[in-house]
Amino acid sequence: MTVIFSGPLLTDEERRTRLYEGQVFLYPARPESLALIEFARELIGDAFGGLDPETAQYDLPVEKFAAILAELKPKFIHHPRAKELLRALLLSFGCDADRTYFDVPRMRSSTSDDYLTTGIAYAFHPHRDTWYSAPLSQVNWWIPIYKVVPENVMTFHPRYWSTPVKNGSARYDYYEWNRTSRFNAAQHIGTDTREQPKPEEPIELEPRVTLVPEPGGVMVFSGNQLHSSVPNTSGKTRFSIDFRTVNVDDVIARREAPNVDCACTGTTLRDFLRVSDLERLPEDVALAYEGKG
């Protein structure tokens, strides 16, 4: 059973324990998350000029829209201010600055009515992040930048928390993905030929759990949750921020969600930066995760 907690008063350790059991957390907007989305809005506004970014898809050819995203998203991802605001947000949630590591915050977009669903605006099929070489102790954070509705958010498929899904993760190697596919997303307009782990059997999409945070609201869940993008029929482009964290003690101790079907190789752990000083996770910790699963 997936339990949804609304703004619970728990320590970070208590929260991680519940996340590894398949529970999900939803927090209201707070000053630190509002500061992060305000910064994102500034960059989005500059990128789209005088156009409303939520409806700009109706004013631009798809190639132009994709080109704007191809410049906007890396600018946000790599901007020092984005990391600064993210670190402040994690501290506000009680994360230990010396034991918590994060990857860079990513700006995501989901256009309406199949305008652009590939490449730079990839519409995610049902998947676990752990199929993509993420550690089983990974925690995912998701924040809408503008107002969202049930027709343009993401959704969970909780029956698969402990039920394996036949999938293509055994053919996925994170290092090969970085070498061949990670940096050419903007080239995939209309079709996306990049090999990504997907279910290889029919998935029962219902029952599903769909949460609708307010702008700046924070959804927190295990990277092992099976989730997908809701097909956007809202009439507006959805913009959101997501990032991931790990606690190094959990990584070392293998305190984590259960592995029911992951068989990928490589590890994303070298992408994580320590909250306190932006140092990368120790190499010996990453090396311990080099094998399958």
pLDDT of residue 194: 56
pLDDT tens-digit profile, the chain (293 residues): 567 888 778 999 999 999 999 999 999 999 999 999 999 999 999 999 989 999 999 999 999 999 999 999 999 999 999 999 999 999 999 999 999 999 999 999 999 998 876 655 555 689 999 999 999 999 999 999 999 999 999 999 999 999 999 999 999 999 888 887 555 444 434 444 457 899 999 999 888 999 999 999 999 999 999 999 899 999 999 999 999 999 999 999 999 999 999 999 999 999 999 999 999 999 999 999 986 44
No. of helices (H) and no. of strands (E), the chain = 7, 10
Tokens 């009515």 correspond to 113
pLDDT of residue 179: 80
Q: Measuring CA to CA, which residue among 248, 293, 254, 242 is closest to residue 269?
A: 248
Question: Which 3 state secondary structure label does DSSP give 6?
Answer: strand
Question: Burial, 54: exposed, middle or buried (Cβ in 10 Å; 0-12, 13-18, 19+)?
Answer: buried
In this structure, which amino acid lies at residue 53? P
In tens, the pLDDT along 181-195 reads 555 444 434 444 457
